[in-house]
Each structure stands twice: as C-alpha cells, then as structure tokens.
C-alpha cells in the first residue's frame, strides 16, 4: 500500500495548517514540515480544511433511485410504503445492485467513508437486498466501509416469516439488527416487535437500529415508543448499542413530557438519528395550515445528553424524492429545520455527520489524530466555519490512507467592476 503525506491542511478548526503523514492506512504523524520516506505519495492541501470522513448512519441503497420509475402517489408514509412494496416485487439482484452502486458512488464522491445500509428483509424482497449489500460490502471495501442492517420494513408479526429472514440475515453476516417499530397492526405487536429486535441484538451480540415514532404527533401509541425502547434497552444492558431513526413525534409532545423522554433516552444510552430530508417530505401531510416541520427536537435531545447523528435515509424514491448523497447538504437542512445557527450550533451539527455519527456507528479509531484510521476528506475551503454553510467541493476523499475520489470546481466573474471617476 502506498503511503500518503498530506501537506498544508487545516485539521478541523485548528488555527494553523499542518502536515499529516499516513502509513499503512493510519495516521502516523502530524505537524508542520514533515518528511516522508521515498515512494510516499504527496498531496498538497494548499491550506484547505481536513475533516474525518463523513459517516452515513442510515441509508437505503436497495430502494434508492426508484422515483424515476414510480413516484409516491400521495406524498404520505403509507403511500411510500405501498408504492415501494409494489416496486419491490420486481427487484432482481442485478437491478438492486446497479442502483445501490450508483448511490454508493454518490456517497463516496461526497466524502462519505462509512455507510450503514438498511436493506429491506421481508417476504416481498426476501433476502435480495441483503445479499446485494453483502456482495457490495466486500466489493467496495477499498472505497467505503459498509455496515449492513437487516431491516424489516413490512413489520415482523404483520409479515410472516420475517423473523426467520432476520435470523438468516444475521447468520449470513448482517452487522446490525433493524426494526420498524410502527409497522404492526396494534400497540401490543409493536412492543413485541421492539422486544424481539432487542432480544436478537443480545443473542447475536450485534447493535440494534430501529425506525421509530415516525409520525407528526404521538396520538397513535404505536408512534410513541421511544420511552418504552429506552426502558427495554436498559433492561438488556444494551446502552450505547441502540439507535433510533426519525423519532419525529417526540417533537409534538408538550415540553415537560418530551424532556422526560429525552432524559430516559440519554440515561439508557439510546441514540437518535433524525432523517430530515424524509421527515420534512413525508411530515405534516395532513396539515392544511401552519404545516409542521415534523422533526425530532434536536435541542432538547442535546440538552438531555442524547447522542445523535444525522443521515440521508432515502435518495430519490417514494420516501424522499431528492438527494445527492451529500451529508453536508442534509446536515444543513437539519440546522434549518431545527433552528440551529451560529458557529457553536453549526460545529455541533457537523459532528452529527462526523464524530457523533462515528459513535452511533460504533467506529473505533475515528478522527484526525495519530493512530486514527485514515478515513478523511479535504474540503475546498480554508474556513472551518464555512464547511456547513458553503458545503464546499470535496477536493480529495481518503479511505484507509488512499485517495479514492477527487473533485474540482471553478467559478469566476468574467466582467470587471467599472472603475468610477472620483
Ligand atoms: Zn430508513
């Protein structure tokens, strides 16, 4: 493996540029004026900001890019599940693989070095999505690390045989057990769903990552399970190994109630992952005036000490008909939706797709320090505060010490400003 020396880069918000030397896929040394052994590739960052690689904790590559085939007829969550269920019947290994690879390429070009993928595992698609992702986890290993979540989109009790399919997925090498806690007929089954997923997490020694409480409000108790999940997580000693996507209904609870749930989540070590592109698109559909933003209460969760990430979820399908796979875009969307602004907030939002996302995904040796795995991205700005606001071009994406993607962009004014006479 060729080693790499990055010259003249600004490590996150460090005031001065430095050099970073990478050997055997890890950061070996940082500091100004480093020398490198013969044969080391040298990349001049020209003072640009160096970030740790972006971490996508929640993505559905198997269902991406379906919007061109058939869009969501109603714009609702039910409509999205229905139309995607119909399209899934036509899935073939090759068609899923082609779309998934297109999306992975988007992610890598945008600086993402780890993707937690949630392929559907259900009686409709069977194990097709899972098998494709197992194949891509190996095929794409030099470009991006892939974690695979076995995701029961259609429910477990409502969709017979799904329990067996989840076990087969974990036996085949899925890294995480997924859940879709609202996809059951009644509250009792939703709770059994949660318990079964967490029991599988214990049995297989894997983390759990569930879709949860994805509704405008908590009036239907199937969409108000975060507190129950916190309790069940604590009871099984799974703290730090459970993540929940969406959790939008929490934002509709009265302040004291939602802060109590947030405190329970923090105490239990349950992480929350807002999926703002989807949450915003599918949320508030029944509102005829003062349409809700339908986003989890980020500030309250932060204040309570809940670990969070932010992720893309779906790219151009019935759940989210937009997206380029750029986590900086999606993080900025969350900032807009959750009234987050100013350098302190925006630095924290950036952590939702870097350091905090890495904790959610359980990544070891993450970051830009000696000994860290060299998963990095150089962005085309010299100003750390501008990273989220400008979402600069990803000049170079580095996976395990090797440059795996490069981008350039140029723009200039072509007419001079007039010189006025004094
Ligand atoms: Zn999802």
Ligand 1 center–CA 225 separation, angstroms = 17
Ligand 1 center–CA 312 separation, angstroms = 8
Ligand 1 center–CA 245 separation, angstroms = 7
Assess whether 27 and 65 both reside in one domain. Answer: no
pLDDT of res. 422: 78
Is the CA virtual torsion 367, 372, 375, 380 positive or negative? positive
Assess whether 183 and 282 both reside in one domain. Answer: yes
- Cα–Cα nearest to 320, from 139, 79, 116: 79
Assess whether 78 and 160 both reside in one domain. Answer: yes
The CA radius of gyration of the chain, in Å to the nearest whole number, is 22
CATH code for position 300: 3.20.20.140
Ligand 1 center–CA 222 separation, angstroms = 17
Residue 422 lies in a domain: no
**8 A C-beta contact, residue 142 and residue 400:** yes
- Cα–Cα nearest to 151, from 95, 218, 84: 84
Assess whether 330 and 386 both reside in one domain. Answer: no
Ligand 1 center–CA 176 separation, angstroms = 14
Using DSSP's 3-state secondary structure scheme, residue 96 falls into helix
Ligand 1 center–CA 202 separation, angstroms = 22
- DSSP track, 34-59: ----TT-EEEEEEEEEEEEPEEEEEE
Residue 8 lies in a domain: yes
Residue 185 lies in a domain: yes
Using DSSP's 3-state secondary structure scheme, residue 33 falls into coil
Ligand 1 center–CA 9 separation, angstroms = 35
Ligand 1 center–CA 120 separation, angstroms = 10
Ligand 1 center–CA 261 separation, angstroms = 22
Residue 280 lies in a domain: yes
How would you classify residue 313: left for phi > 0, otherwise alpha for psi between -120 and 50, otherwise beta?
left
- Cα–Cα nearest to 54, from 272, 349, 260, 255: 349
Assess whether 99 and 109 both reside in one domain. Answer: yes
Ligand 1 center–CA 65 separation, angstroms = 14
Ligand 1 center–CA 274 separation, angstroms = 10
Using DSSP's 3-state secondary structure scheme, residue 408 falls into coil
The CA-based diameter of the chain, rounded to the nearest angstrom, is 83
- Burial class for 397, CB neighbours closer than 10 Å (0-12, 13-18, 19+): buried
Structural domain that includes position 231: 54-340
Ligand 1 center–CA 131 separation, angstroms = 18
Domain count, the chain: 2
Residue 306 lies in a domain: yes
**8 A C-beta contact, residue 176 and residue 210:** no
Assess whether 163 and 308 both reside in one domain. Answer: yes
Ligand 1 center–CA 218 separation, angstroms = 19
Ligand 1 center–CA 49 separation, angstroms = 31
Assess whether 35 and 129 both reside in one domain. Answer: no
Order of all β-strands in the sheet with 54-59: 54-59, 112-117, 145-150, 176-180, 208-212, 242-246, 270-273
Ligand 1 center–CA 178 separation, angstroms = 10
Each of the 422 residues of the chain gets a pLDDT tens digit; together they read 679 999 999 999 999 999 999 999 999 999 999 998 999 999 999 999 999 999 999 999 999 999 999 999 899 989 999 999 999 999 999 999 999 999 999 999 999 999 999 999 999 999 999 999 999 999 999 999 999 999 999 999 999 999 999 999 999 999 999 999 999 999 999 999 999 999 999 999 999 999 999 999 999 999 999 999 999 999 999 999 999 999 999 999 999 999 999 999 999 999 999 999 999 999 999 999 999 999 999 999 999 999 999 999 999 999 999 999 999 999 999 999 999 999 999 999 999 999 999 999 999 999 999 999 999 999 999 999 999 999 999 999 999 999 999 999 999 999 999 999 87
- DSSP track, 228-252: HHHHHHHHTT-TTSEEEEE--GGGG
Ligand 1 center–CA 42 separation, angstroms = 39
Assess whether 58 and 184 both reside in one domain. Answer: yes
- DSSP track, 119-146: -B-BTTTBTHHHHHHHHHHHHTTTT-EE
Q: What DSSP element (H or E) covers 271?
A: strand 270-273
Assess whether 263 and 275 both reside in one domain. Answer: yes
CATH code for position 16: 2.30.40.10
Assess whether 269 and 150 both reside in one domain. Answer: yes
Assess whether 116 and 218 both reside in one domain. Answer: yes
Ligand 1 center–CA 34 separation, angstroms = 44
Looking at 324, 340, 356, the residue that finishes a domain is: 340
CA-to-CA distance for 23 and 402, rounded, in angstroms? Answer: 10
CA-to-CA distance for 112 and 103, rounded, in angstroms? Answer: 11
Pairing type for strands 26-31 and 18-23 reads antiparallel
Assess whether 170 and 316 both reside in one domain. Answer: yes
């Amino acid at each position: 493996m060729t080693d790499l020396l990055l010259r003249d880069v600004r490590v996150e918000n460090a005031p001065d540029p430095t050099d970073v030397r990478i050997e055997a896929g890890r950061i070996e040394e940082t500091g100004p004026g480093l020398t490198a052994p013969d044969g080391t590739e040298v990349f001049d960052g020209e003072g640009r900001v160096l970030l740790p690689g972006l971490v996508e904790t929640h993505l559905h590559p198997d269902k991406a890019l379906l919007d061109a085939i058939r869009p969501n007829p109603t714009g609702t969550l039910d409509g999205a599940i229905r139309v995607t269920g119909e399209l899934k019947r036509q899935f073939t290994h090759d068609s899923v693989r082609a779309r998934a690879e297109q999306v992975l390429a988007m992610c890598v070009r945008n600086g993402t070095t780890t993707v937690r993928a949630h392929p559907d595992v259900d009686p409709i698609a069977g194990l097709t999505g899972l098998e494709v992702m197992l194949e891509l986890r190996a095929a794409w290993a030099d470009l991006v690390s892939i974690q695979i979540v076995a995701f029961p989109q259609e429910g477990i009790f409502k969709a017979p045989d799904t329990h067996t399919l989840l076990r087969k997925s974990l036996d085949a090498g899925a890294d995480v057990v997924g859940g879709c806690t609202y996809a059951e007929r009644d509250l009792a089954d939703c709770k059994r769903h949660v318990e079964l997923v967490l029991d599988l997490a214990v049995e297989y020694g894997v983390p759990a990552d569930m879709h949860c409480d994805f509704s405008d409000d908590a009036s239907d108790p199937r969409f108000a399970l975060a507190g129950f999940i916190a309790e069940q997580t604590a009871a099984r000693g799974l703290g730090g190994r459970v993540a929940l996507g969406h959790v939008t209904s929490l934002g509709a609870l009265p302040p004291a109630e939602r802060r109590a749930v947030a405190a329970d989540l923090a105490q239990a070590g349950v992480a929350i992952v807002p999926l703002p592109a989807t949450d915003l698109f599918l949320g508030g559909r029944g509102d005829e005036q003062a349409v809700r933003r339908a986003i989890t209460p980020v500030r309250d969760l932060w204040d309570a000490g809940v670990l969070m990430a932010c992720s893309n979820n779906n790219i151009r399908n019935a759940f989210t008909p937009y997206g380029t796979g750029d986590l900086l875009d999606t993080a900025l969307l969350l900032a807009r939706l959750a009234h987050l602004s100013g350098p302190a907030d925006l630095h924290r939002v950036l952590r939702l797709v870097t350091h905090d996302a890495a904790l959610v995904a359980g990544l070891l040796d993450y970051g830009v320090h000696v000994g860290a795995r060299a998963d990095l991205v150089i962005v085309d700005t010299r100003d750390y505060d501008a990273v989220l606001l400008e979402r600069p071009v990803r000049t170079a994406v580095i996976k395990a010490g090797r440059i795996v993607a490069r981008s350039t962009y140029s723009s200039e004014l072509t007419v001079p400003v007039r010189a006025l006479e004094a």
